[in-house]
């Protein structure tokens, strides 16, 4: 056998072995995480959040049907008493071994005022039910989160938001709420009645009591045009300020390991309805995953491949009522870190985040989300007192996410970011105290409503009590 042929055979064998090794590694990493037992040793059923970052085996699960029932429950139940909505928060807000409360028996639109476009809504109403219910009375929320599975209480208590220059997060549209407290009373709170509770508890982490009803300031039902298109990511970053100025709702996603980004705009229109087509995002994400699986260690080839794959994706247009278009199906489970930064720092931070991912984390394939949110005055709102720009980094639910805290979070903090209350972060009491001007005022209100700390689980002890 000649030397050249032998070398080729050996080289081919090494390449084949390497490819087999990489495939085996990916198969190993892609296995489903081991499932937790459905029932613990005491016979208590498992509760776990959507992303499977948190779990508990609560001894009691209660579902009050009225504000009075919620107040009675708070006075009598064993603590920690924690209220859960859809379980979409990634942080440890919900887990309790004692009492888990669901608001699923308090749902629906309770009344409305056509003249002011206000509606009274039970706190457990899921956002996906709220859209059609408000549309039936000629109203619409001008802004919705990317996912609409959350309850109204869960969404507002965590500062959940949509995107748009003139639009506050979901809690920004709350003008009044009823709050059941551990003293067994129900407080009605608005800008003039119990104003401190109104300001402190509007974004309250479920730590002030149980929200039972909201009055929402909505908009008249409008038709919007949703346009989804692919753009060069540098153009999106350079033109972000103009995009925010020129569209009602706007966001973009940076597709890592490509030069592309996806732009999504919503603007009001009189054009005829053109219903949205079947979801293509899930399939798109799985294609990005396939590219990651094949080319994780060949970054230049991954860029080349994705750039060619993405270049031919056509623009998508849908025209319909806003509630039908603003939220999306996100059936690919993920883990997420999201910070809200002063708008003027957003793009500089984004450039750093993308550079760090592409230098150090070739396992990331889910696009980085970029949004804009208007300032509000809720004391614990991440948007308190400043127009904000958000940056969210995701990992697939089977992948490691610990780099959020070592690589991504330091960048977002250095640029003045405040974390989304429902998304992964490593901050504790002192960190939050430095970020929120009315932190101590809010906690004084909370301690007054719950002096025994019945609403605090271990996670909230770390956040709301000085260590």
Partner 1 sequence: MAIERSGIVPALLALAACHAAPAAKPLTEAQSAARQPADPHLAALYDGSCRACHTNRDSGAPLSGDHTQWDARWAKGAPVLLQNAVAGYNRMPAGGQCATCTAADYNALIRFMADQPQDQK
Residues that bind partner 1 (CB under 8 A): 32, 35-39, 45-50, 52, 55, 61-63, 84, 86-87, 100, 102, 104-105, 107, 124, 126, 128, 149, 278-279, 282, 329, 331-333
Segment holding 260, helix H or strand E: strand 260-268
| Closest CB to partner 1 among residues 49, 249 | 49
| Closest CB to partner 1 among residues 104, 146 | 104
DSSP 270-323: -SPPB---S--HHHHHHHHHHHHHHHTT-HHHHHHHHHHHHHTPPPEEEEEEHH
Q: How many CA atoms lie within 13 A of 95 on its CB side?
A: 17
| Closest CB to partner 1 among residues 242, 329 | 329
Site of tokens 């748009």? 164
| Closest CB to partner 1 among residues 198, 459 | 459
Q: How near is the Cβ of 94 to partner 1 at its closest, in Å?
A: 9
Tokens, residue 312: 């031919």
| Closest CB to partner 1 among residues 87, 382 | 87
Q: In 183-298, which ranges are continuous DSSP H helix?
A: 195-201, 233-238, 240-246, 281-295
Site of tokens 């508990």? 56
Q: How near is the Cβ of 11 to partner 1 at its closest, in Å?
A: 40
Of 312, 266, 315, residue with least CA distance to 141: 266
| Closest CB to partner 1 among residues 370, 424 | 424
Q: How near is the Cβ of 197 to partner 1 at its closest, in Å?
A: 25
Q: How near is the Cβ of 31 to partner 1 at its closest, in Å?
A: 12
Q: What span, in angstroms and rounded, lies between the C-alpha atoms of 14 and 10?
A: 6
Q: How near is the Cβ of 363 to partner 1 at its closest, in Å?
A: 20
Q: What span, in angstroms and rounded, lies between the C-alpha atoms of 376 and 249?
A: 17
| Closest CB to partner 1 among residues 290, 426 | 290
Q: How many CB atoms lie within 10 A of CB 12?
A: 10
Q: How near is the Cβ of 315 to partner 1 at its closest, in Å?
A: 20
In order of 182, 339, 380, 429, 455, the CA distances from 461 in angstroms are 17, 21, 16, 9, 10
Q: How near is the Cβ of 5 to partner 1 at its closest, in Å?
A: 44
Per DSSP, what are the bridge partners of residue 371? 390
């Amino acid at each position: 056998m000649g030397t050249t042929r032998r070398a080729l055979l050996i080289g081919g064998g090494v390449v084949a072995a390497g490819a087999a090794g990489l495939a085996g590694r990916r198969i190993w990493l892609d296995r489903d995480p081991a499932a937790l037992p459905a029932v613990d040793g005491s016979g208590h059923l498992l509760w776990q959040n959507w992303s499977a970052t948190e779990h508990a085996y609560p001894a009691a699960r209660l579902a009050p049907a009225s504000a009075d029932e919620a107040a009675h429950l708070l006075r009598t139940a064993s603590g920690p008493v924690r209220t859960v909505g859809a379980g979409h928060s990634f942080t440890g807000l919900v887990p309790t071994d004692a009492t888990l409360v669901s608001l699923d028996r308090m749902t629906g639109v309770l009344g409305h005022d056509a003249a002011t476009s206000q509606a009274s809504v039970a706190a457990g109403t899921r956002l996906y039910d709220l859209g059609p219910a408000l549309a039936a009375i000629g109203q619409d929320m001008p802004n919705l989160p990317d996912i609409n599975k959350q309850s109204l209480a869960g969404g507002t208590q965590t500062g959940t938001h949509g995107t748009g220059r003139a639009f506050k997060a979901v809690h920004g549209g709350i003008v009044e709420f009823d709050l059941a407290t551990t003293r067994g009373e129900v407080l009605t709170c608005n800008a003039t009645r119990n104003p401190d509770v109104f300001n402190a508890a509007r974004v309250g982490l479920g730590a002030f009591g149980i929200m039972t009803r909201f009055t929402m300031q909505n908009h008249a039902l409008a038709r919007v045009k949703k346009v989804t298109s692919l753009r060069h990511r540098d153009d999106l970053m350079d033109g972000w300020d103009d995009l925010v100025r020129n569209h009602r709702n706007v966001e973009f996603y940076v597709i890592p390991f490509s030069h592309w980004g996806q732009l999504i705009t919503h603007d009001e229109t009189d054009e005829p309805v053109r219903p949205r087509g079947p979801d293509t995002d899930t399939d798109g994400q799985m294609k990005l995953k396939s590219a990651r699986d094949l080319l994780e260690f060949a970054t230049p080839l991954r860029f080349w491949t994705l750039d060619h794959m993405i270049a031919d994706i056509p623009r998508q247009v849908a025209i319909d009522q806003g509630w039908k278009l603003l939220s999306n199906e996100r059936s690919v489970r993920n883990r997420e870190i999201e910070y809200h930064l002063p708008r003027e720092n957003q793009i500089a931070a984004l450039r750093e985040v993308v550079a760090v991912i592409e230098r150090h984390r070739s396992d990331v394939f889910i696009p980085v989300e970029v949004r804009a949110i208007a300032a509000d005055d809720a004391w614990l709102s991440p948007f308190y007192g400043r127009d904000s720009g958000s940056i969210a980094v995701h990992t697939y639910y089977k992948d490691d996410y610990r780099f959020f805290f070592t690589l991504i979070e330091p960048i977002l903090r250095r640029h003045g970011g405040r974390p989304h209350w429902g998304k992964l972060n490593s901050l504790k009491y002192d960190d939050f105290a430095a970020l929120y001007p009315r932190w101590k005022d809010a906690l004084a209100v909370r301690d007054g409503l719950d002096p025994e700390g019945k609403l605090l689980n271990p996670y909230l002890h770390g956040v709301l009590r000085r260590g």
